[in-house]
Structure 1
């Protein structure tokens, strides 16, 4: 079956430009009615204007699609609840959330102001939490939901000058892990997308010859697959320049060191064995760690 969104309703946050705009345009092109959310601020989150969101809505409508603009800040839970209600009032349901809104406050940790750390967490992490929380009862009731959270290689693997951004982005993976488990019985599928794309946020990082290859449109196929009716759940899908990878948090088989006064020395001596990745697994839930430690303790 094709990746089709006819009859579906989608909310895309941070959709006034860059990746979010491409997400919204393509969802609409494939049949979805799209609520285009964007605060319309600067990269650092300052300022606000609904004009960026409205411009994307105008693009969608000009192409024959249905769309509405919304200027809510995802940091404001009441405004996010009103945004969800706006979609429900217009179209009666919400099937897809693409949580894409974000800001940057890059600095080395030594020079980073604590307020800049908190604000980045507030937009990326709490912004996604607010959207998921406002939509959870809607998706539970309709027994259908597709949620795509935007993570980043900066969170998965680290990046100089992005302690705040990386912490927020890795937190979204943790959110996805649990929401996918809790949403399963209601057919709410939750995944993470880790894009590499040249947008307003990242264009300075790319060599000129690579700017085109890493256009935001190259990431959109991954979002569509994660948001589709037959989407997977609990997957972190990486995408950029036409390449796609999956990222996993794994657990090595481990070693039984035991307890007692010499345990630290034994662990120190066997750390390489503990880290040995042959036979590692991707746990189905956090309970797998305890189960594995019980297996080691029993000598199984």
Structure 2
């Protein structure tokens, strides 16, 4: 094996695991441990931050350098990277489209022919379905919020609500959730003493304060966002019993348009809508027996719709 090829293979192996011993690398490359040590020295001369840990449990690992090192990807990794970058350039709600397009161009230019053909197959056979156009989100804001979530550090930011009112919020962030082509921050609002969800595209000037968040009982961030997106914004809010166990109900469209909760052998669905007719048509399409519990207006509309359907069937 030529030295250049072996160095690329060595670099690829170092990317795949936190640590490798010299004998392990030698076995994978089909060389001696002495050759491995020489190749490690060559990589270091090429400014790759290869570190070594002494002792019986030590080994070689890639450290953090001043620049991104070259990546060596296998076929599946390369395809996953290209497909992911294509989604990032297609308006998925993150303001990284230009950077994603640049990275995508570089990757596609060097894809081997057999991978390029497989990528064309994927593109021809897939279509993206969303809930609307993605809303551009400042990637710098996402980074500040993500770091504060990870560090459990308080934030303050300016927020514009649905009515266009701007206010300064003091928050203890929990998690970022990506849903319906938007990013949401789940955080404890210190001024309102309650857990809230915030659309990141409506936030500005986020600043970490350096103050640690209090220890408190944590909610399910996904359920909070799901409720905020599918129930709370709507004038009509219905509670419906689905005669399916929760695990089966989660396999239906109901999971995308409401909040599900186990209730014995059945499942309660809380869903919102601006139009009762739309909600009724959605409920009729679910693959199970449906029982509208409230409000009365939706229950009556559901009964009338079913009666019309039954009346339309010839005897």
Q: Please, what TM-score do these two structures have when normalized by structure 1?
A: 0.24
Between Structure 1 and Structure 2, whose CA radius of gyration is higher? 2
Name which structure has the greater RCO, CA cutoff 8 Å, separation 6+: 1
Q: Which has the higher strand share?
A: 2
